[in-house]
């Protein structure tokens, strides 16, 4: 008798990943989206709530990705697929924001057991991010690198909590007679580890990296992930990371984020514009050592992306 599939599809939320994601969704009866709960989700699926209105109220960080995904979700819903939104961390975070809007204080929040851990994780990560922004305006490169590592550690703790909460919510949905597809951002690999610990040993989890065919074609490394995300994942896997080793990806991440295209791009002349951009930037920074990053950062931190990219290319050509 065939074992029904438990599939986790890791990917960036970019339009170029949609053909891979959509094909996989069609193979599974149950689809678990990596989204906070939206009260109008069911109405959007059955067509009684317009997609444009739904996107306006969902405030997605990837609006083009969501706009192109929604018609597929409607199609699958019409064919009988069960589609659910499961992301407890974001649901709890929204509750916290609503409580603050009602005039509640941090002291009120931490008294609520169901909210405390998420509030503390978010406070820790947000504080580290603010410190990074403050240090990034300084001239002391070592302080900036330290702030990158501090944020990566805090973000790793947030990722682990997010993974645990999501796994706990997903496990009851995993049935022996249904194939289930679980959507996940590529940095949320701890979700696989959390699910693996909670499922029976004989229940296999099929892991897919949707853009791997594109990454292979581009001859990119590390699944095309940037150095900052790699550092965050390392911190999530071990508490004993060599801090001297961590200095290099932290330093490279400062250059990487200046060179990367931030705006959402749609496939056109290129079928994978974001992947190509990420591969280009990763190949550039892989040639940089720590002291190279120190020299470059001072030159590009206040430059526009195009100018920064040109400066880095010139620097590497002279190496």
Tokens of 264: 């959402």
**Model confidence at 305: pLDDT above 70:** yes
Model confidence at 1, pLDDT cuts 50, 70, 90, reads very low
Q: Please say if the pLDDT value at position 212 is more than 60.
A: yes
CA angle 236, 240, 244 (to 5 degrees): 100
The average pLDDT across 283-300 equals 96
- pLDDT for 171 equals 96
- Judged against a pLDDT cut of 70, whether residue 23 lies above it is answered with yes
pLDDT at residue 2 tops 70: no
Share of the chain above pLDDT 90, in %: 90
Helix (H) or strand (E) holding 136: none
Query: pLDDT tens for residues 227-280?
Result: 999 999 999 998 888 999 999 999 999 999 999 999 999 999 999 999 999 999
- Please report the pLDDT score of residue 211 as a whole number: 97
Residue 227 CB neighbour total at 10 angstroms: 26
Q: What are the tokens at 246? A: 């961590």
Taking 80 as the threshold, does the pLDDT of residue 185 lie above it?
A: yes
Cα distance between residue 42 and residue 84, in whole Å = 9
> How many angstroms separate the CA atoms of 67 and 181, rounded?
20
Residues 14/64, Cβ–Cβ less than 8 Å: no
Tell me what percent of the residues of the chain surpass a pLDDT of 70: 99
Domain ranges of the chain: 6-88+166-212, 241-319
Token readout for 42 is 């069911």
Determine if the pTM surpasses 0.75.
Answer: yes
**Average pLDDT score, the chain:** 95
Q: Model confidence at 105, in pLDDT bands (50, 70, 90)?
A: very high
What does residue 89 show for φ and ψ, rounded to 5 degrees? -60, -45
CA angle 284, 285, 290 (to 5 degrees): 145
Residue 177: its pLDDT value, please? 82
190: pLDDT strictly greater than 80: yes
pLDDT at residue 3, rounded to an integer:
59
For the stretch 116-124, contacts whose Cβ atoms lie closer than 8 Å and that sit 24 or more positions apart, written own/partner, are 117/161, 118/89, 118/92, 118/93, 118/161, 118/165, 121/154, 121/157, 121/158, 121/161, 122/93, 122/96, 122/158, 124/154, 124/157, 124/158
Residue 319: the pLDDT is 80
289 touches 248 (CB < 8 A) = yes
Whole-angstrom Cα distance, residue 181 to residue 201? 19
Phi, psi angles (nearest 5°) of residue 111: -80, -15
Q: At what angle do helices 305-317 and 243-259 cross, to 10 degrees?
A: 120
């Amino acid at each position: 008798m065939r074992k029904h599939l438990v599939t986790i599809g890791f990917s960036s939320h970019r339009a170029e990943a949609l053909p891979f994601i959509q094909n996989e969704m069609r193979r599974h009866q149950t689809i678990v989206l990596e989204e906070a709960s939206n009260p109008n989700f069911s109405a959007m699926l059955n067509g009684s709530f317009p997609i444009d209105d739904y996107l306006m109220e969902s405030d997605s960080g990837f609006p083009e990705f969501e706009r192109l995904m929604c018609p597929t979700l409607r199609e699958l819903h019409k064919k009988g697929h069960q589609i659910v939104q499961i992301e407890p961390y974001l649901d709890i975070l929204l509750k916290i924001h609503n409580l603050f809007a009602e005039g509640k204080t941090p002291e009120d929040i931490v008294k609520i057991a169901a909210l405390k851990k998420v509030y503390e994780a978010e406070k820790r990560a947000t504080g580290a991010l603010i410190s990074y922004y403050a240090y990034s305006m300084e001239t002391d490169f070592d302080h900036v690198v330290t702030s990158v590592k501090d944020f990566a550690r805090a973000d790793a703790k947030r990722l682990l909590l997010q993974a645990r909460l999501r796994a706990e919510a997903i496990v009851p949905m995993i049935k022996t007679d249904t194939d289930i597809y679980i959507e996940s951002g590529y940095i949320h690999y701890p979700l696989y580890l959390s699910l693996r610990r909670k499922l029976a040993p004989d229940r296999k989890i099929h892991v897919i990296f949707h853009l791997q065919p594109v990454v292979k074609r581009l001859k990119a490394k590390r699944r095309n992930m940037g150095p900052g995300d790699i550092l965050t994942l390392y911190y999530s896997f071990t508490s004993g990371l060599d801090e001297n080793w961590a200095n290099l990806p932290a330093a490279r991440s400062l250059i990487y984020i200046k060179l990367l295209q931030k705006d959402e791009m749609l496939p056109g002349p290129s079928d994978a514009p974001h992947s190509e951009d990420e591969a280009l930037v990763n190949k550039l920074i892989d040639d940089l050592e720590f002291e190279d990053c120190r020299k470059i950062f001072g030159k590009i931190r206040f430059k526009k992306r195009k100018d920064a990219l040109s400066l880095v290319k010139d620097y590497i050509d002279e190496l």
